[in-house]
Copies of this chain bind each other. A is one copy, B any other.
Amino acid sequence: MNITTEQLFDNARTHNGFSSEPIAEATLKQLYELMKWGPTSANTSPARIVFVQSPAAKAKLLEAVSAGNHDKTRQAPVTAIIATDMEFYEKLPKLFPHADARSWFVGNQAMIDTTAFRNSSIQGGYFILAARALGLDCGPMSGFDNAKVDQAFFAGTPIKSNFLVNLGHGDPSKLFGRSPRLSFEEACRIE
């Protein structure tokens, strides 16, 4: 599918308001079918996603969202919970079939925690750019109560929320002025 770097990077903005236009289920599936290909450490692929869409699920989520994120989260047709399977290594016999990769993790909690959080977050980056590739606008947020979201959506499982992404068709009138970025010299060096 043809897209542009401007669509993913230069011209894309974090949206704070959304039209009521819904997102087709086929689009949510297409989004996952793109992002799933992004690389993760030993193909661990720890991200798990709940697309929160129904009024009942939205109401559960809104109870955990900070005041400043409330209106836009209610307005967005879908809010994705980007979450992390803290027992991702149980899927490695499928995901990394050519070695006993499960044994690299079991019993090493620090490595489990680091691998899970790093790679779930990297996959969150793929998710945002894949959504933009499909013409959706994003509003990523970490202003919410993770424990409340985990209780409401993942009770009794090893899955923990990482961050949230409002998805939909953005309302340009609600955009903030664009904030500056660090220059190449401030953020990078060539050695």
State which residues 108-163 of A face B: CB under 8 Å: 115, 117-119, 121-126, 128-130, 133, 138, 140, 142, 153, 162-163
Closest residue of chain B to A126 (Cβ to Cβ) is: B125
State which residues 16-59 of A face B: CB under 8 Å: 25, 28-29, 32-39, 41, 43, 45, 47-54, 57
- A64 contacts chain B at the CB level, 8 A cutoff: no
Check A32–B188 contact: CB distance below 8 A. yes
Residue interface mask A165-191, B partner, CB < 8 A = 1? 000000000001101111010111111
Check A188–B50 contact: CB distance below 8 A. yes
CA distance A153 to B188 in the complex (A): 12
Check B125–A49 contact: CB distance below 8 A. no
Q: How far is the CB of A175 from chain B (nearest CB, A)?
A: 12
Question: With A117-B121, A125-B122 known to touch, is A180 a contact of B8 (CB < 8 Å)?
Answer: no
Q: How far is the CB of A49 from chain B (nearest CB, A)?
A: 4
Question: With A117-B118, A133-B5 known to touch, is A48 a contact of B187 (CB < 8 Å)?
Answer: yes
Check A57–B191 contact: CB distance below 8 A. yes
Check A37–B51 contact: CB distance below 8 A. no
- A107 contacts chain B at the CB level, 8 A cutoff: no
Check B118–A129 contact: CB distance below 8 A. no
CA distance A191 to B10 in the complex (A): 32
Closest 3 pairs between A and B when the two form their complex, measured CB to CB: A125-B125, A121-B121, A57-B191
The residues of A with any CB-CB pair to B shorter than 8 Å are: 1-6, 8-10, 12, 14, 25, 28-29, 32-39, 41, 43, 45, 47-54, 57, 91, 94-98, 115, 117-119, 121-126, 128-130, 133, 138, 140, 142, 153, 162-163, 176-177, 179-182, 184, 186-191
